[in-house]
């Protein structure tokens, strides 16, 4: 009866629209592996390293906006999923995590590959379920099917996120040699019917009354996928000078009408004094800019956060209203109900934006070779119709300093760790034929090298590796940069290059150490290829810190004068 339970589970997943599964090899999970691999409507891939596998699944689900299934064996395999599970939870990405387990009587009895797996992910999943370990009759099969339906529905319900099903399995795990798996044609399925959240007339009247006394509205979109409807609504508000829209690169809502160079001046109290809003409106997930968060926490502004599920997010410590609405619905209402605003407030922000953009380009062109100017040149050659994955630490901060991007920008800002950046980008390549560029530092890149340890083609993957042979961000943080232990205990100096990895995995590889070599290597970097390409930009951590400091100082002086 165990096979009927598992084939029913897989059939339910397929019926509910799940098309992709990432498997990691193991014996205890064999019934799940075989069922997913043999189902005609499911695309199964094998990634041996569970930590990488989970981030690959995350990268796929992020783009597909549908759950991707993860399957692993019992024991520590499940623990290796944890970093990606946490990232998926805080990024609100749907995953269905299926962990094979031993029956309860064998846990903590010195039997192999056993840990305490039920609810192992704690608060970092939307829900934890346990399938019955014995299915002898129709009622028990109905119970098992009910759990699977509930788990898949929960992963899709707003806010989306990871859901865990632990599955105790008894031997035998494998069907007989010539035995075929039979999937039910009509598995037991019940679907989630979603409803639109609309604000009441009474609520809208109260909000409109509050709007009548505000003159300086600042709108902050957090991390999200590109959204043309939202983009148009925000642009309309900005063009009519009704609000200032401040957009980090991961908001994917940057345009000629939004503010994107804010990290260059918000840390300067003299320059930013006249920029304080009296109302902050936010939506989406996290923002990168620490200077923006600190600036807004010091204001006396009210803060309205828009989130469909109504969960409170008080990032700026100014929250006064938590609005359960879709951002598009609210922005459309706002554009119709927000009156004339303080034009000096609008002009101050946009003067700084225009001045900084002009000065930044000039300043970068005059700098010595280093990560900052080199990356700026690389971005000028990146295809418009493509996606950019960016690792945490300095890579994403450089990108945020360089203004508007037309490509979709993807970064693991749920937990903001360096683990899994490569794997998430690999997952993305499995969902699109567009070029996917991974911009990464050396620490994040080598930390996740098993992302490439599989048998699947990735001809659309391009990797820009910023290798300063250290964790260069620590030279820019006031605390560690002033300590004598900086180089040994914070920067973690290393001598690796990407050449050996490229050879092992069959990637095209080039390394550059100056501007001329960079220009030559980029000439054909984005041309079609049968294999991924790595462009390694080798620099000095110390010189990179000096370049960044010099650029900031030049822009500061130009804005103050």
Write down the pLDDT at residue 489. Answer: 65
Q: What is the pLDDT of residues 167-215, one digit of tens each?
A: 999 888 888 888 888 899 899 999 988 877 788 999 999 999 999 999 9
Q: For the chain, how big is the Rg over CA atoms in Å?
A: 25
Closest to 106 measured CA to CA, from 18, 7, 28, 220:
28
Write down the pLDDT at residue 128. Answer: 98
Is 474 or 265 the better-scoring residue by pLDDT? Answer: 265
Give the count of beta carbons closer than 10 Å to the beta carbon of residue 320: 13
Does residue 485 surpass a pLDDT of 80?
no
Hey, what are 276's tokens? 């304080």
Q: What is the pLDDT of residues 38-94, one digit of tens each?
A: 999 999 999 999 999 999 999 999 999 999 999 999 999 999 999 999 999 999 999
What number is the average pLDDT over the span 402-416?
A: 96
Any bridge partners for residue 533, and if so which? 462, 508
Does residue 1 surpass a pLDDT of 70?
no
- Report whether 297 contacts 317 (CB < 8 A): yes
Does residue 492 surpass a pLDDT of 90?
no
For 201-350, the fitting CATH number among 3.40.50.720, 1.10.10.10, 3.40.50.1220, 3.40.50.970 is: 3.40.50.1220
CATH fold for the domain made of 2-168: Rossmann fold (3.40.50)
What number is the average pLDDT over the span 113-140?
A: 93
Q: What is the pLDDT of residues 350-403, one digit of tens each?
A: 999 999 999 998 999 999 999 999 999 999 999 999 999 999 989 999 999 999
Query: SS in 3 state form for 353-377?
Result: HHHHHHHHHHHHHCCCCCHHHHHHH
pLDDT band at residue 555 using 50, 70 and 90 as cut-offs: very high
Q: Phi and psi of 556, rounded to 5°?
A: -60, -45
Cα distances from 420 to residues 173, 187, 211, 449, in angstroms, run 31, 35, 43, 9
Measured between alpha carbons, how far is 421 from 391 in angstroms, rounded to an integer?
A: 5
- Report whether 450 contacts 430 (CB < 8 A): no
- Report whether 410 contacts 388 (CB < 8 A): yes
Query: SS in 3 state form for 498-542?
Result: CHHHHHHHCCEEEEECCHHHHHHHHCCCCCCCCCCEEEEEECCHH
What number is the average pLDDT over the span 485-512?
A: 88
| Burial state string for 380-415 with b = 16 or more CB within 10 A and e = fewer than 16 | eebeeebbbbbbbbbbbbbbbbbbbbebbbbbbbbb
Q: Phi and psi of 348, rounded to 5°?
A: -60, -45
Q: In sequence order, what are the residues at sequence separation of 6 or more whose Cβ sits closer than 8 angstroms to the Cβ of residue 322?
A: 304, 305, 307, 310, 311, 312, 313
Does residue 472 surpass a pLDDT of 70?
no
Taking all residues of the chain, what is their mean pLDDT, rounded to a whole number?
Answer: 93
User: What are all long-range contacts of 266-274, with beta carbons under 8 Å and residues at least 24 apart?
Assistant: 266/291, 266/292, 266/294, 266/295, 267/291, 267/294, 267/295, 268/556, 268/559, 268/560, 270/560, 271/352, 271/556, 271/559, 271/560, 274/344, 274/345, 274/348
pTM here? 0.94
Give the count of beta carbons closer than 10 Å to the beta carbon of residue 507: 20
What number is the average pLDDT over the span 334-363?
A: 94
Asked if domains 201-350 and 367-560 share a fold, the reply is: yes
Measured between alpha carbons, how far is 489 from 492 in angstroms, rounded to an integer?
A: 6
Hey, what are 54's tokens? 């989970």
Closest to 250 measured CA to CA, from 271, 277, 220, 279:
220
Domain positions in the chain are 2-168, 201-350, 367-560
Q: In sequence order, what are the residues at sequence separation of 6 or more whose Cβ sits closer than 8 angstroms to the Cβ of residue 224?
A: 251, 252, 253, 284, 285
* CATH dotted code for 367-560: 3.40.50.970
How far does CA 326 lie from the centroid of its chain? 20
- Site of tokens 């399925």: 189
Percentages helix, strand, coil for the chain, rounded to the nearest 5?
45, 15, 40
Q: Phi and psi of 291, rounded to 5°?
A: -65, -35
Write down the pLDDT at residue 480. Answer: 67
Write down the pLDDT at residue 477. Answer: 65
Give the count of beta carbons closer than 10 Å to the beta carbon of residue 79: 17
Q: What is the pLDDT of residues 90-119, one digit of tens each?
A: 999 999 999 999 998 988 998 888 999 999
Tell me which of 12-26, 168-182, 324-338, 400-414 is least confident: 168-182
- Report whether 135 contacts 147 (CB < 8 A): no
Measured between alpha carbons, how far is 551 from 561 in angstroms, rounded to an integer?
A: 16
Write down the pLDDT at residue 339. Answer: 87
- Report whether 70 contacts 54 (CB < 8 A): yes
Q: What is the pLDDT of residues 427-438, one digit of tens each?
A: 999 999 999 999
Query: SS in 3 state form for 474-496?
Result: HHCCHHHHCCCCHHHHHCCCCCC
Write down the pLDDT at residue 290. Answer: 93
Write down the pLDDT at residue 195. Answer: 76
Measured between alpha carbons, how far is 407 from 126 in angstroms, rounded to an integer?
A: 31
């Amino acid at each position: 009866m165990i096979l009927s339970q598992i084939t029913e589970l897989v059939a339910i997943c397929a019926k509910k629209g799940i098309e992709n599964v990432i498997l990691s090899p193991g014996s205890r999970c064999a019934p799940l592996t075989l069922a997913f691999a043999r189902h005609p409507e499911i695309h199964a891939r094998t990634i041996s390293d569970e930590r990488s596998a989970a981030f690959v699944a995350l990268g796929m689900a992020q783009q597909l906006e549908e759950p991707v299934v993860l399957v692993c064996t019992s024991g520590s395999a499940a623990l290796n999923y944890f970093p990606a599970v946490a990232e998926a939870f805080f990024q609100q990405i749907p995953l269905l995590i299926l962990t094979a387990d031993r029956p309860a009587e064998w846990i903590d009895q010195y039997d192999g590959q056993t840990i305490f797996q039920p609810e192992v992910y704690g608060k970092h999943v939307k829900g934890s379920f346990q399938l019955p370990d014995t299915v002898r009759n129709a009622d028990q099969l109905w119970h098992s099917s009910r759990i699977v339906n509930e788990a898949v529905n929960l992963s899709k319900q707003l806010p989306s996120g990871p859901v865990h099903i632990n599955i105790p399995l008894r031997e035998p795990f494998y069907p007989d040699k010539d035995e075929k798996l039979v999937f039910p044609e009509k598995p037991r399925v019940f679907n989630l019917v979603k409803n639109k959240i609309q604000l009441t007339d009474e609520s809208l009247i109260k909000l409109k009354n509050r709007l009548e006394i505000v003159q300086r509205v600042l709108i902050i979109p957090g991390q999200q996928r590109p959204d043309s409807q939202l983009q148009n609504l925000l642009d309309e508000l900005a063009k009519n000078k009704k609000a200032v829209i401040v957009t980090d690169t991961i908001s994917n809502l940057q345009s000629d009408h939004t503010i994107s160079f804010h990290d260059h001046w918000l840390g300067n109290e003299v320059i930013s004094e006249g920029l304080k809003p009296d109302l902050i409106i936010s939506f989406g997930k996290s923002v990168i800019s620490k200077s923006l968060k600190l600036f807004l926490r010091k204001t006396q502004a009210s803060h309205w956060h828009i989130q469909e599920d109504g969960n409170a997010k008080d990032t700026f410590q100014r929250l006064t209203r938590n609005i359960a609405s879709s951002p598009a619905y609210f922005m459309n209402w706002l554009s119709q109900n927000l009156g004339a605003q303080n034009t000096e407030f609008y002009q101050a922000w946009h003067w700084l934006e225009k001045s900084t953009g002009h000065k930044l380009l000039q300043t970068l062109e005059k700098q010595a070779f280093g990560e900052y100017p080199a990356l700026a040149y690389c971005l000028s050659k990146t295809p418009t119709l493509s996606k950019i994955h960016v690792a945490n630490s300095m890579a994403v901060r450089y990108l945020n300093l360089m203004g508007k991007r037309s490509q979709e920008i993807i970064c693991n800002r749920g937990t903001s760790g360096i683990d899994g950046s490569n794997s998430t980008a690999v997952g993305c390549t499995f969902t699109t034929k567009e070029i996917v560029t991974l911009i990464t530092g050396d620490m994040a890149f080598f930390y996740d090298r098993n992302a490439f340890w599989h048998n699947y083609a990735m001809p659309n993957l391009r990797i820009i590796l910023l290798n300063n042979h250290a964790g260069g961000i620590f030279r820019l943080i006031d605390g560690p940069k002033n300590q004598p232990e900086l180089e040994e205990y914070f920067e973690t100096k290393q001598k690796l290059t990407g050449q050996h990895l490229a050879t092992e995995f069959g990637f095209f590889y080039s390394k550059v150490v100056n501007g001329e070599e960079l220009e030559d290597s980029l000439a054909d970097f984005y041309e079609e290829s049968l294999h991924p390409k790595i462009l390694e930009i080798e620099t000095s951590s110390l010189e990179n810190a000096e370049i960044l400091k010099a650029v900031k100082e030049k822009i500061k002086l130009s804005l103050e004068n």
